[in-house]
Amino acid sequence: MRTAIDFSPLFRSSVGFDRVLNLLESASRIDAAEGWPPYDIIRVGDESYRITMAVAGFGADEISIVHEPNLLVISGKKTEEPNTQYLHHGISMREFKRQFELADHVKVTRADLADGLLTVDLEREVPENLKPRMIEISSDTPPDSGKRIGEGKSSAA
């Protein structure tokens, strides 16, 4: 059995770490409904990821994918068919909402629904000005670098 962790001391003693602390706090919460629908997160390449979610029975018009800054929200709501009488109702058609925290510069590139699986492809696209760059080291010495301290001053006192 897990107990809730109190993160309030961290909020009081830190500045600018709100997002990290919110992630820790939300990760520590336990929700019984969090297990549905099941999903996989797969690293496809160095900067590419795929979320595959089992959403059997849902159509593309019943699923919503919203990409906000640093957040991906996938939700589904089944529209009820009128005059349907179930003799046995074993396929779960309940509403769901899944949230995925995304790193900076991660974008949704594609979403597909086939064979009861929703596939969302993600890619990290770091802007050129934020990528590491090589700095060339010059072998030329500045013109005044050959002088020693005290040289060039007159010795007259």
Q: Which residue has the higher pLDDT, 132 or 111?
A: 111
What is the chain's mean pLDDT, rounded?
80
Q: Cα 113 to the chain's mean position, in Å?
A: 21
Q: Which residue type is seen at 122?
A: L
Residue 95 maps to which CATH number? 2.60.40.790
Residue 101 sits in the same domain as residue 123: yes
123 and 56 within one domain: yes
Which range is least confidently modeled, 13-17, 57-61, 132-136? 13-17
Residues 18, 45 within the same domain = no
State the residue range of the domain holding 109.
Answer: 34-79+90-127
Same domain flag for 1 and 60 = no
For residue 149, being part of any structural domain is answered with no
Whether pTM > 0.75 for this model: the answer is no
Rounded to 5°, the CA angle 63-28-49 comes to: 45
Asked whether 70 and 102 are in contact (CB, 8 A), the reply is yes
Kindly state whether residue 121 falls inside one of the protein's structural domains: yes
The pLDDT value given to residue 10? 64
pLDDT value, residue 32: 46
If we measure between CA atoms, which residue out of 135, 69, 58 comes closest to residue 107? 69
Q: Are residues 20 and 42 in the same domain?
A: no
